[in-house]
Chain A
Amino acid sequence: MSLVELVLTVVKILIVVMFFLNMAALSTWADRRQGAMVQDRVGPNRAVVPLPNMVARGLVLLPPALFGVLSIFTSLGEVTGRLALERTTVNVQLAIFVTWLSLLVLCAKVRSGGAINRAERVFEDVDPRSIFFAGLGVHALGLVAMRLVTPQGAPMAAKITGFVLGAIFLIVGFYATSRVPEGPIPLRLAGTLHALADSIKMIWKEDFVPKNGDKVLHGLAPILTVFSAVVVAAVLPFGNDICFADGNRNGTLDFSDLGNLVATVPATGQCAGFRVPLQIADLNVGILYVFAMTGTGIIGAAIAGWASDNKFALLGGLRAASQMVSYEVAMGLSLVGLFLVYSTVRMGEMSAWQGQHAWGIFVQPVGFFLFLAAVCAETKRVPFDQPEGESEIVAGYFLEYSGFKWGMFMTGEYIELVFSSALLVALFFGGYNLPFLHPDGLTVAFGDTVLFQYKMTHLAVSVISVIAFFGKTILVTWVQVFFRWTLPRFRYDQLMKLGWTKLLPLAIANMMVTAVIVVALRNAGPAAESWLKLLGDISQGLVAVLTLAGAVALVVGLLEPVERRKFLVTSSARFAAALGGVKPTTQEA
């Protein structure tokens, strides 16, 4: 391994580990917040940092002012030809977006806090949805209006739109700053500071070791748990392969080549220069390494239960060990069908296959649900959290842990959760691929009929693929956290029966049926192949349409106004109504 490869590997390790650790912390917060929102509570948000008023105003003013000045300065330079047209498009669309978003925020502010001047009073009766829909309409109009810009007029248009965009940014920034209320502003960051305060507390708490416990093993167990959770991330492909051209033509990848990113890559993804996979280690055993490493997670839980000198902890450790061993079998076998379809166990090739054909969830739906159940059981989260069943064995295997060691168990659990989501994404949700996004750009095609094509640079596609992978992982983590607030815990015998008598036979049946179908389709000839290609494209289209529909539904739902009935029956309600509602006041002694 050359030095440049070593440096690249270290960078990749840093990206992945930072992502997993931060996501573990964030999912701790998301877990609490979801629980609160599902149960109609405010949730943990007690930790407050009072920002001095000037700092708060500065924080509000700085980003829009920076963007505004940047936009004006970049418009001062001369641009010509195609670049000028593109810049005009971006300027117009950004200006429209910033305008309707700011109007929306202002509308919400007026509705909740009241208008402060005559201009704001206009917004009192405006439906926020009409602003959103008008914004979408103006976006479309802006795209149509771009046809009017002639190539000769493009540099001038780019300049004017740049100035307009800068002015809009500055106006928005200054108006928002003027609306910051007087006095220190309490900063809560939606409760993330509460999670931060909790972790600080955890570090300073007493590290308790039971008197008759095994001191060495007691300290070793949390380390093993976190180790096995972090180390599995080595084989995750978190973006498509990056291609560097051999700039100095010496046949080896060196530091000067890192600046020569290839401009474009053909649709097949062939790379003429050096291919750098966005994956820490492209092992030939691939997914088997993941199974091996998650298997060692059992040891951490079992040792913790054993070393604690506590019968409840021991019971929890036993439960954890038996549960994880049982579900390891179902987890491995539920993926065999997937290996048959992909004809590989390498993670990178699996993701690439999904980009070219169809996502794993469409080719192996049964395997997906089996794997999902098994992976939930492996992470020991609700509904499979018997190892820490509070109602029966207090806290399970980490009962005798406190402070930072307990925090390590928790971190390990949440890293496992994030990792299992990343695994689900890599195996079943297309990895870093997005529908119709190929290495050469966007190509909407069903079968051989191409509906729409848009060429993109290699850099743009690579950045989008990395964002896609991490974004999908965050989304799946969010859904997995949701299981906890929806499903009740299984009984222990139900858990064992589910693993051995339901998941295992189903996984074996799925494997056999898949084998038969795969062999049948391979021998079916070219007609079947083109049909499969069409079906794969339809599945991609389905994903794209559903995602867009979900996004629009989310925004429309967000803008839906609420109507409430007031109940002024009690005297305290009448007092509150006279005060204009129960308003937050400054905290007294």
Chain B
Amino acid sequence: MAKRTFGTNPWTKPGATSAPPTKVIARPRRTAEVQAYLPEFFRGMAVTMKHFFKNTKEMVLGQKPDPVIESLNDGVTTISYPEERRPYAERFRGLHRLTLRDDGSPRCVACLCCSTACPAQCIHIEAGEYEEGDPRRGYERYPKTFVIDELRCVFCGFCVEACPCDAIRMDTGMHATPYDSREQFIYRKDLLTEFTGRDGSRKTANPRHEPGDPTHPGLTREQGEH
């Protein structure tokens, strides 16, 4: 075999001048044992029977390994969907939810950042002004309608990234149920505010500081009059 040098190859480490040692695998010999077929046949039967008895026993006695927690053990670790379900990972982007303030209204201020960021154009928001005399009037608006077409959504998570108020989240840990009509995939504000996060809460861990609160960091109406 001609000796190859690896020095000229820019992809190899400097100094690797000789070929790595090759592992020589001997060609299987046609021994009488192999040719007779029966010894190998019995060995194969022993292997399959071992699996059969072990797995059957574990299925019958309810000892089968947990398909998620003990999935690296030997045995039947397939999940019988939909009776058994693997919980989605912590950061799984599932169905959207609209988070709530302390008073139960959506945190959304109808800034349209999410619908602008959405590459699938599946979010539709109609903004509304608060009533005259409402302390929030003039500071923010509220979504009169907030609609997400879950069938169009590509679950990229850009809306969550874009939201300045932590008002939209995808941490429900749920996927859209397969319905039988397209209309049913259109989720409206009432449904989106119904969903809870993985922790069961409709709020988020991030506190919201309403205008008028002492903790409110921004300008208030009074300061604006100076």
Contacts of B82 in A (CB 8 A): 587-588
Interface residues of A in 544-589 (CB under 8 A from B): 554, 557-558, 560, 562, 564-568, 570-577, 579, 581-589
Q: Which of the candidate stretches A275-283, A344-352, A480-488 sits at the interface with the other chain?
A: A480-488
Which of B38, B48, B59, B91 is most buried by chain A, counting CB atoms within 10 A of its CB?
B48
A38 x B51 contact (CB < 8 A): yes
| Chain A, residue nearest B63 (CB) | A562
| Range for the number of chain B residues in contact with chain A | 35 or more
Residues from chain B with a CB closer than 8 A to the CB of A573 are 68-69, 71
**B86 partner residues in chain A, CB cutoff 8 A:** 572, 576, 582
Which residue of chain A is the closest to B58 with respect to CB atoms? A562
On whether the beta carbons of A37 and B65 are closer than 8 Å, the reply is: no
The answer to whether residues A589 and B177 also contact, given A38-B52, A487-B41, A576-B69 and a CB cut-off of 8 A, is yes
CB of A42 within 8 Å of the partner chain: yes
Known contacts being A369-B38, A587-B82, is A38 close to B87, with CB within 8 Å? no
- For the complex, is A112 an interface residue (Cβ under 8 Å from B)? yes
Q: Which residues of B contact A558 (CB under 8 A)?
A: 57, 61
Interface pair A40/B69, CB less than 8 Å apart: no
**B143 close to chain A: CB less than 8 A:** no
Contact of A482 with B80 in the complex, beta carbons under 8 Å: no
Residues in A23-38 with C-beta less than 8 Å from chain B: 34, 36-38
Q: Which residues of B contact A577 (CB under 8 A)?
A: 69
Contacting residue for B89 out of A41, A483, A572, A586, CB 8 A? A572
Question: Is A583 a contact partner of B84 (Cβ separation < 8 A)?
Answer: yes
Check A576 against B68 for contact (C-beta < 8 Å). Answer: yes
Residue A515, interface by CB 8 Å: no
Q: Taking the complex as formed, is B204 at the interface, i.e. its CB lies under 8 A from any CB of chain A?
A: no
Q: Does B90 contact A (CB under 8 A)?
A: yes
Flag if B83 contacts A566 (CB, 8 Å).
no
CB-based contact A571/B90 at 8 Å: yes
Q: Complex: how many Å from CA A584 to CA B62?
A: 12
A535 contacts chain B at the CB level, 8 A cutoff: no
Q: Which residues of chain B are within 8 angstroms of A482 by Cβ–Cβ distance?
A: 45, 48-49, 52
- Contact in complex: B61, A572 (CB < 8 Å): no
Q: Mark A321-355, 1 if CB is under 8 A from B, else 0.
A: 00000000000000000000000000000000000
State in angstroms the CA–CA spacing of A235 and B49 once bound together.
32
Task: Give the docked Cα–Cα distance between A369 and B198 (Å).
Answer: 62
Residues of chain B lying within 8 A (CB to CB) of residue A566: 66, 69-70
Contact partner of A571 (CB less than 8 A), chosen from B47, B66, B85, B91, is B91
Contacts A112-B63, A572-B68 hold; do A40 and B90 have CB atoms under 8 A apart?
no
User: When the two chains form their complex, are residues A576 and B51 in contact, meaning their CB atoms are under 8 A apart?
Assistant: no
Contacts of B88 in A (CB 8 A): 572, 575
Write the B60-100 contact mask toward A (1 if CB under 8 angstroms, else 0).
Answer: 01110111111111111111101111111111000000000
* Bound Cα distance from A564 to B72, whole angstroms: 9
* Bound Cα distance from A586 to B82, whole angstroms: 8
Q: How far is the CA of A566 from the CA of B77 in the complex (A)?
A: 13
Interface of B is mostly: loop
Tell me, in angstroms, the Cα distance from A113 to B63 when the chains sit together: 10
Q: Which residues of B contact A293 (CB under 8 A)?
A: none
Interface string of A26-65 (1 = CB under 8 A from B): 0000000010111111100000000000000000000000
Minimum CB–CB distance for A367 against chain B, Å: 14
Report the minimal beta-carbon distance from B30 to chain A, rounded to whole angstroms: 14
Cβ-based interface call for A108 (8 A): yes
Tally of contact residues, A, Cβ under 8 A: 46
Q: Is the CB of A485 within 8 A of B84?
A: no
Q: Which chain A residues border B63 with CB–CB below 8 Å?
A: 111-112, 562
Nearest-Cβ distance from residue B191 to partner chain A, whole angstroms: 16
Contact, CB under 8 Å: B53 / A557: yes
Q: Is B44 an interface residue (CB 8 A)?
A: yes
CB pair A567 B89 closer than 8 Å: no
Could you say which of B79, B87, B90, B91 has the most chain A C-beta atoms within 10 Å of its C-beta? B87
Question: Across the interface, do B61 and A112 meet the contact criterion of CB distance under 8 Å?
Answer: yes
Residues of B within 8 A of A483 (CB): 45
User: Which residues from chain A contact B71 at a C-beta distance below 8 Å?
Assistant: 567, 573
Residues of chain A within 8 A (CB-CB) of B59 are: 37, 42
CA distance A574 to B87 in the complex (A): 9
Residue pair A584, B80 in contact (C-beta under 8 Å)? yes
* Chain B nearest Cβ from A402, distance in angstroms: 29
**Bound-complex Cα distance A100 to B86 (A):** 37
Set B44, B62, B72, B198: member contacting A565, Cβ < 8 A? B72
Taking a contact as CB atoms closer than 8 A, the residue among B49, B78, B84 that contacts A41 in the complex is: B78
Q: How far is the CA of A583 from the CA of B67 in the complex (A)?
A: 10
**A37 CB contacts on chain B under 8 angstroms:** 51-52, 55-56, 59, 76
The smallest C-beta distance from B92 to any residue of chain A, in angstroms, reads 8
Give complex CA distance A182, B85 in Å.
Answer: 22
Interface core residue of B47, B57, B66 (most chain A CB under 10 Å): B66
Asked whether, in the complex, the Cβ of B48 is within 8 Å of the Cβ of A582, the reply is no
Decide if B70 touches A564 in the complex (CB within 8 Å): yes
Interface string of A480-521 (1 = CB under 8 A from B): 001101110000000000000000000000000000000000
Chain B: minimal CB distance from A333 (Å):
19
Contacts of B51 in A (CB 8 A): 37-40
Chain A residues near B72: list those with CB within 8 A.
565, 567
With beta carbons under 8 angstroms apart, the residue of B47, B52, B62, B83 that contacts A585 is B83
A residues less than 8 Å from B79 (CB atoms): 582
**What are the interface flags for B21-64 relative to A under an 8 Å C-beta threshold, 1 for contact and 0 otherwise?**
00000000000000000100100110111011101111101110
The answer to whether B69 touches A42, judged by C-beta atoms less than 8 angstroms apart, is no
Complex: how many Å from CA A573 to CA B68? 6
Pick the 5 closest A-B CB pairs, nearest first: A571-B90, A575-B87, A112-B62, A576-B68, A37-B55
Q: What are 8 pairs between A and B in contact, CB < 8 Å?
A: A37-B56, A42-B80, A572-B90, A573-B69, A576-B68, A581-B66, A584-B83, A589-B177
Task: Mark A residues whose CB is within 8 Å of B.
Answer: 34, 36-42, 108, 111-113, 369, 482-483, 485-487, 554, 557-558, 560, 562, 564-568, 570-577, 579, 581-589
Residues in B lying within 8 Å of A, measured CB to CB: 38, 41, 44-45, 47-49, 51-53, 55-59, 61-63, 65-80, 82-91, 177, 198
16 new A-B contacts, CB < 8 A, other than A40-B76, A564-B66, are A38-B48, A40-B74, A40-B77, A482-B49, A482-B52, A486-B47, A554-B53, A558-B57, A565-B72, A566-B69, A566-B70, A571-B91, A572-B89, A575-B88, A576-B68, A582-B85
